[in-house]
Structure 1
Amino acid sequence: MLEKLQIHIAQNFDFLKNKKLLLATSGGLDSMVMVHLLHKMSFTIAIAHCNFQLRGVESFEDQNFVNEYARANKIPIFITQFDTKAFAEDYKVSTQVAARDLRYSWFYELLENEAFDYILTAHHADDNIETFLINLVRGTGLDGLTGIPAINGSVIRPLMIFSRLEIESYAIENTISWREDSSNASDKYLRNKIRHHLVPLLKDLNSDFLSTFQKTQAFLQEAQTQVEDASIMVYQQVAKEKDDQVFFDLNQLKRLPNYTSYLYQWLNEYGFMAWQDIYNLVDGQSGKQVFSTKYRLLKDRDLLILSSFNLELEQRVYSIEKDQIEVKFPLNLSFCKVADISLGSNKAIFVDEDELVYPLRLRKWQKGDSFQPFGMEGQSKKISKYFKDEKLSLIEKEKIWLLCSENKIIWVVGLRQDERFKIKNTTSTILQIKLE
Structure 2
Amino acid sequence: MSEINLDLKKLTNKIILLAHSGGVDSCVLGDILIRSKIKFSVAHCNFQLRGEESDNDLLFVKKWCKKNRIKFYYKLFNLIDYKLKNKKGIQESARDLRYKWFNHLTTNKGFDYLVTAHHLNDQFETFLINVSRSSGIFGLVGIPESNKLLRPLLNVTKMQILDYAKKNNLEWREDSSNTSKDYFRNIIRHQVVKPFENHKPKTLENFKKTLAHLKDAQEFISHQFDKLKKELFIEKNKHIYIEIESLKKIKPLSFSLHHFFSPKGFNSKEVEKLVFSSPGKLILSKKYRLIRDRKYLILSALLKKEINEIVIDLDKKNLKLPIPIKWEYIPNLETKAHKNNEVFLDRETLKSPISLRKYKNGDYFYPSGMKGKKLLSKFFKDEKYSLLDKEEQWLLCSNGEIVWIIGKRCDNRFLARPNTKNKLLMRDLR
Normalised TM-score (structure 2): 0.80
Deviation for aligned residue 1:174 = 3.2
Change (3 A) 1:384 1:59: farther
- Structure 2 equivalent of residue 282 of structure 1: 275
Do 1:27 and 1:66's aligned partners in 2 also have CA atoms closer than 8 Å?
yes
- Structure 1 equivalent of residue 103 of structure 2: 108
Distance in 2 (CA, whole Å) between partners of 1:318 and 1:153 is 46
- Structure 2 equivalent of residue 309 of structure 1: 301
Deviation for aligned residue 1:133 = 0.5
- Structure 2 equivalent of residue 19 of structure 1: 14
Among 148, 162, 170, the residue aligned to 1:168? 162
State the SS of the aligned residue for 1:355.
coil
Deviation for aligned residue 1:131 = 0.5
Deviation for aligned residue 1:339 = 5.0
Do 1:373 and 1:416's aligned partners in 2 also have CA atoms closer than 8 Å?
no
Do 1:352 and 1:422's aligned partners in 2 also have CA atoms closer than 8 Å?
no
Q: In the alignment, is residue 393 of structure 1 matched against residue 412 of structure 2?
A: no
- Structure 1 equivalent of residue 178 of structure 2: 184
Change (3 A) 1:188 1:242: same
Do 1:361 and 1:406's aligned partners in 2 also have CA atoms closer than 8 Å?
no
Do 1:327 and 1:334's aligned partners in 2 also have CA atoms closer than 8 Å?
no
Give the aligned residue type for 2:115.
Answer: L
Deviation for aligned residue 1:369 = 4.7
Give the aligned residue type for 1:24.
Answer: A
Structure of greater Rg:
2
Alignment of 1:36-435 (within 5 A): 36-56=31-51, 58-149=53-144, 151-272=145-266, 274-305=267-298, 307-311=299-303, 313-314=304-305, 317=308, 326-327=319-320, 331=322, 340=330, 355-357=351-353, 365-366=359-360, 368-372=361-365, 375=368, 381-401=374-394, 412=405, 414-415=407-408
Deviation for aligned residue 1:160 = 0.4
Distance in 2 (CA, whole Å) between partners of 1:210 and 1:282 is 42
Distance in 1 (CA, whole Å) between partners of 2:309 and 2:54 is 46
Change (3 A) 1:376 1:241: closer
Deviation for aligned residue 1:120 = 1.5
Distance in 2 (CA, whole Å) between partners of 1:421 and 1:39 is 82
1:34-91 CA-to-partner distances (Å, cap 9, x unmatched) read 2332233222322233344444555444444434433443322333444444444444
Structure 1 unaligned residues grouped into runs of 5+: none
Distance in 1 (CA, whole Å) between partners of 2:74 and 2:346 is 60
Distance in 2 (CA, whole Å) between partners of 1:89 and 1:406 is 50
1:126-160 CA-to-partner distances (Å, cap 9, x unmatched) read 100100100111112111112124x4222111110
Change (3 A) 1:117 1:380: farther
Normalised TM-score (structure 1): 0.79
Deviation for aligned residue 1:193 = 1.0
State the SS of the aligned residue for 1:152.
coil
Distance in 1 (CA, whole Å) between partners of 2:421 and 2:94 is 63
Deviation for aligned residue 1:308 = 3.4
1:180-218 CA-to-partner distances (Å, cap 9, x unmatched) read 333222111211110121111212221221111112222
Give the aligned residue type for 2:351.
Answer: E
Compare 228-237 and 415-424 and name the one that shifted more.
415-424
- Structure 1 equivalent of residue 4 of structure 2: 4
Aligned CA-pair RMSD: 3.8
Change (3 A) 1:335 1:15: same
1:158-189 CA-to-partner distances (Å, cap 9, x unmatched) read 11011122223323333433333332221112
Distance in 2 (CA, whole Å) between partners of 1:73 and 1:408 is 78
Do 2:15 and 2:113's aligned partners in 1 also have CA atoms closer than 8 Å?
yes
Compare 235-244 and 288-297 and name the one that shifted more.
235-244
Do 2:197 and 2:203's aligned partners in 1 also have CA atoms closer than 8 Å?
yes
Give the aligned residue type for 2:34.
Answer: H
Give the aligned residue type for 1:388.
Answer: K
Do 1:403 and 1:411's aligned partners in 2 also have CA atoms closer than 8 Å?
yes
Compare 278-287 and 368-377 and name the one that shifted more.
368-377
